[in-house]
């Protein structure tokens, strides 16, 4: 492990990779800070560029964008009271009131410090958990992989959505799109509509760019004409703005929120967008002064930022060990790995050990860069908030088109991003969650291929999926999570009925 | 009918149409045995159709209390214009070429998205559009060896 770590340090500490990490982190913070732009969009835009870079350099750039993008949201959450990304929604609850009380500098300092601590601790969790998990996963066969795919699909549907029917449809549709192209095992072409470009199926990146970036741009068009440009107050930062006593007072809050963030990050499909709110609610519930939450105290910012940023390391665990993305950005990173012909999963730790540790080191360096950049570059990021959206968004759309075209030098992919952009906008309008679609698209082939392989191994008998202990456990948890969701929905409906006047 | 109820009906109809369309396409896959290339698509098609029916039922049974409050305030004129420009940009990118089409798209899109309380500055929009197109084209052509389509400018650039 130590020698691999040293190799990682050697690879990362070159001018090219350090430069890319710095660039990625700064651009990520800008994307995170500007409301309407997200870390997902930043990674989507820069993915095609990594094609021309080596695997280590390309993935380092994406890691920088990811870490910067998740953390950057705190800047607008505190200065504008508008969360830059879903990861910093809970930061507005206390960051905004602190800004109003004239404690904006302290709020920013606390946010920056605890987002760094959260990221750092979750990376340590990643470094220690991932190799062990990968060793266990090496023993997994088709039965286990099929069950993990089904478990992941059901979990995101039951955890991340309001409407179970819409979540299920989204996942099923993503799965359906993954069946386009040559079928696994018997190699029969399916749903290609006579288009040779579809023989290999949909490339995941144009789908992601369309679904997350293009649809977001169309959505912004809904109210951009009436939106008021926010006025930003520049604050001067002097250190982190909190005392050593306050640091020790926040110790347990920080550890608990980091654990919540890392745990939620590990669960497939949900990440920092959920963890910051859950950690905030828990911190409020456990606090000796819950009534002060929302009035401008640092406890709320510590909980939100530590949890949202610690989801970063958590989300990388299932990606690297099982090839299952922990959130939408890691779904993009999965695409980044595939560009370089790398398949994340347990074998990655055997065949590409140095690359795995390069990623670990790149994450550690990027989180430090994030801390320094946010601390000393806050004035630059504040200026970025003033760029008018009606100028910025069309330029981003052009870059999306270039990115999609650059993947295979074919105009077909440009058509794909437009198609999925329209589909994504339809999802937004009908309140259908997009994440199950992506997870369905990514895990669909894994589920189908392993279902068929598993059945071949057990002579067409389905019982193999239930007699293998790990496979049975995952299927059992999947069934339990669906049953639990139905039960909770039923109870909520009954409670609503009881409250209605007769 | 309230906005929420209408939205839920539209979602249900969409699920059902997609499910039936997928089922129709699945029926064209040649069958070999029970578990073959068509097995998973059939499962997915029937699931989507079932979800469509469940969604329509949920829309029909939507309680009155959940229908109130939500209103659609989106500016669809701007959305439609933006969609039109995006589709046109994609359609003409190859024949007209990236440099020219990007300038045209950006210039028009800036105008379409300009907030009502701001003045449209044609010269500034023109300069930003031309500069963005040139910088993006040259960066991707020179730094990343990307052959973006040049279309009408093929005689001048290549």
ipTM: 0.92
Q: What percent of chain A has pLDDT over 90?
A: 25
Task: Choose the mutation target among A192, A218, A221 for the interface with B, i.e. most B CBs under 10 Å.
Answer: A221
Whether residue A2 is predicted with pLDDT greater than 90 in this model: the reply is: no
Whether residue A462 is predicted with pLDDT greater than 80 in this model: the reply is: yes
| CB-nearest partner of A452 from B35, B54, B116 | B35
Report, as an integer, the average pLDDT of B118-132: 94
Provide DSSP, A286-333.
Answer: H-S-GGGTTSS-HHHHHHHHHHHHHHHHHHHHHHHHHS--SSHHHHHH
Q: What angle do CA B139, A334, A196 make, to 5 degrees?
A: 75
Contact B115 A227 (CB under 8 A): yes
Provide the pLDDT for residue A252: 93
Q: Which residues are paired to A181 by β-bridges?
A: A190
Provide the pLDDT for residue A341: 81
For residue A270, the 8-state DSSP code is -
Whether residue B75 is predicted with pLDDT greater than 80 in this model: the reply is: yes
> How far is C-alpha A468 from the geometric centre of its chain's CA atoms?
31
CA distance B3 to A168: 23
Contact B113 A190 (CB under 8 A): no
Residue A8's CB is within 10 A of a number of other CB atoms, namely 22
CB contacts < 8 A, A to B, total: 163
Between residues 180 and 219 of chain A, which touch chain B (CB distance below 8 Å)? 183, 185-186, 188, 190-191, 214, 217-218
pLDDT in tens, A398-434: 988 888 887 778 889 999 999 999 999 999 898 898 8
**Nearest C-alpha in A relative to B12:** A166
Model confidence at A366, pLDDT cuts 50, 70, 90, reads very high
Contact A496 B128 (CB under 8 A): no
Model confidence at A304, pLDDT cuts 50, 70, 90, reads very high
CA distance A481 to A150: 12
Whether residue A292 is predicted with pLDDT greater than 70 in this model: the reply is: yes
Q: Is B10 exposed, middle or buried, given 0-12, 13-18 or 19+ CB atoms closer than 10 A?
A: middle
**Which residues touch B80 (CB under 8 Å, ≥6 apart)?**
none
CA distance A129 to A450: 25
Provide the pLDDT for residue A46: 84
| CB-nearest partner of A52 from B44, B55, B145 | B145
pLDDT in tens, A238-270: 777 788 888 898 999 999 999 999 988 888 767
Provide the pLDDT for residue A406: 78
Q: Is A132 exposed, middle or buried, given 0-12, 13-18 or 19+ CB atoms closer than 10 A?
A: exposed
Would you list the domain boundaries of chain A?
A: 2-497
Let me know how long chain A is: 502
CA quadruple A54, A55, A56, A58: dihedral sign: positive
C-alpha dist (Å) from residue A112 to A9, A121, B69, B80: 25, 14, 37, 40
Whether residue A441 is predicted with pLDDT greater than 90 in this model: the reply is: no
**Which residues touch A252 (CB under 8 Å, ≥6 apart)?**
none
Max avg pLDDT among A229-233, A486-490, A497-501, B54-58: B54-58
Query: Chain A contact for B142, CB < 8 A?
Result: no
The three state secondary structure string of A417-463 is: HHHHHHHHHHHHHCCCCCHHHHHHHHHHHHHHHHHHHHHHHCCCCCC
Model confidence at A125, pLDDT cuts 50, 70, 90, reads very high
pLDDT in tens, A164-204: 889 889 999 999 999 999 888 888 889 988 888 888 888 87
Query: Chain A contact for B107, CB < 8 A?
Result: no
For residue A242, the 8-state DSSP code is -
Report, as an integer, the average pLDDT of B101-121: 93
Whether residue B147 is predicted with pLDDT greater than 70 in this model: the reply is: yes
Average pLDDT of the residues of chain A = 86
CA distance A170 to A97: 38
């Amino acid at each position: 492990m130590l020698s691999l770590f040293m190799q990682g340090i050697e690879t990362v500490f070159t001018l090219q990779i350090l430069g890319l990490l710095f660039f990625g982190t700064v651009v990520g913070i800008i994307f995170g800070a500007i409301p309407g732009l997200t870390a997902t969009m930043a990674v989507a835009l820069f993915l095609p560029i990594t094609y021309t870079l080596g695997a280590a350099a390309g993935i380092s750039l994406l890691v920088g964008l990811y870490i910067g993008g998740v953390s950057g949201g705190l800047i607008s959450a505190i200065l504008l009271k508008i969360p830059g990304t879903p990861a910093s929604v809970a930061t507005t609850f206390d960051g905004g009131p602190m800004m109003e009380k004239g404690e904006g500098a302290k709020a920013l300092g606390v946010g920056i410090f605890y987002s760094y601590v959260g990221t750092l601790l979750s990376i340590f969790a990643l470094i220690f958990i991932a190799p062990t998990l990968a060793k266990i996963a090496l023993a997994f066969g088709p039965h286990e992989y099929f069950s993990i795919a089904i478990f992941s699909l059901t979990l995101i549907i039951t955890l991340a959505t309001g409407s179970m029917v819409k979540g299920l449809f989204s996942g099923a549709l993503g799965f359906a799109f993954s069946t386009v192209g040559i079928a696994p095992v018997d190699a029969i072409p399916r749903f290609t509509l006579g288009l040779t470009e579809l023989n290999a199926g949909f490339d995941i990146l144009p789908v992601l760019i369309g679904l997350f970036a293009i649809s977001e741009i169309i959505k912004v068009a809904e109210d951009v004409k009436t939106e008021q440009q926010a006025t930003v107050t520049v604050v001067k930062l002097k250190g982190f703005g909190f005392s050593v006593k306050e640091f020790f007072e926040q110790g347990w809050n920080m550890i608990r929120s980091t654990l919540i963030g890392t745990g939620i990050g590990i669960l497939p499909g949900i990440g920092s967008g959920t963890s910051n709110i859950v950690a905030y609610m828990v911190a409020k519930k456990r606090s000796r002064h819950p009534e002060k939450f929302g009035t401008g105290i640092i406890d709320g910012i510590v909980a939100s930022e530590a949890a949202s940023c610690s989801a970063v390391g958590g989300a990388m665990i299932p990606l690297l060990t099982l090839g299952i993305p922990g959130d939408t950005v890691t779904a993009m990173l999965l695409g980044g790995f595939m560009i370089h012909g790398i398949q994340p999963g347990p074998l990655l730790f055997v065949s590409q050990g140095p690359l795995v540790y390069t990623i670990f080191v790149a994450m550690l360096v990027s989180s430090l860069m994030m801390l320094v950049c946010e601390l000393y570059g806050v004035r630059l990021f504040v200026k970025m908030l003033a760029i008018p959206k009606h100028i910025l968004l069309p330029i981003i759309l052009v870059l999306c088109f270039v990115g999609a075209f650059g993947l295979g030098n074919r105009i077909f992919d440009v058509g794909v991003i437009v198609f999925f952009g329209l589909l994504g906008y339809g999802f937004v309008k009908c309140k259908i969650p997009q994440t199950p679609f992506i997870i369905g698209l990514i895990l669909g082939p894994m589920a189908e291929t392993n279902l068929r392989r598993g059945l071949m191994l057990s002579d067409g008998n389905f019982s193999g999926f239930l007699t293998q202990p790990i496979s049975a456990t995952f299927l059992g948890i999947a069934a339990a999570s669906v049953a639990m969701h139905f039960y909770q929905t039923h109870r909520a409906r009954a409670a609503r009925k009881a409250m209605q006047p007769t | 009918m309230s906005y929420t109820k209408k939205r839920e009906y539209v979602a249900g109809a969409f699920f059902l149409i997609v499910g039936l369309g997928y089922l129709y396409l699945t029926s064209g896959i040649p069958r070999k045995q029970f578990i073959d290339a068509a097995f998973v698509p059939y499962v997915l098609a029937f699931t989507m159709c079932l979800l469509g029916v469940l969604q329509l039922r949920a829309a029909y049974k939507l309680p009155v209390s959940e229908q109130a409050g939500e209103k659609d305030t989106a500016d669809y004129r701007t959305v439609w214009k933006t969609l039109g420009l995006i589709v046109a940009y994609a359609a003409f990118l190859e024949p007209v070429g990236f440099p020219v089409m990007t300038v045209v798209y950006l210039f028009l899109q800036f105008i379409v998205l300009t907030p009502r309380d701001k003045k449209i500055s044609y010269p500034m929009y023109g300069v930003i559009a031309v500069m963005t197109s040139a910088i993006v084209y040259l960066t991707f052509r020179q730094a990343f060896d990307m052959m973006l389509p040049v279309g009408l400018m093929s005689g001048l650039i290549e």
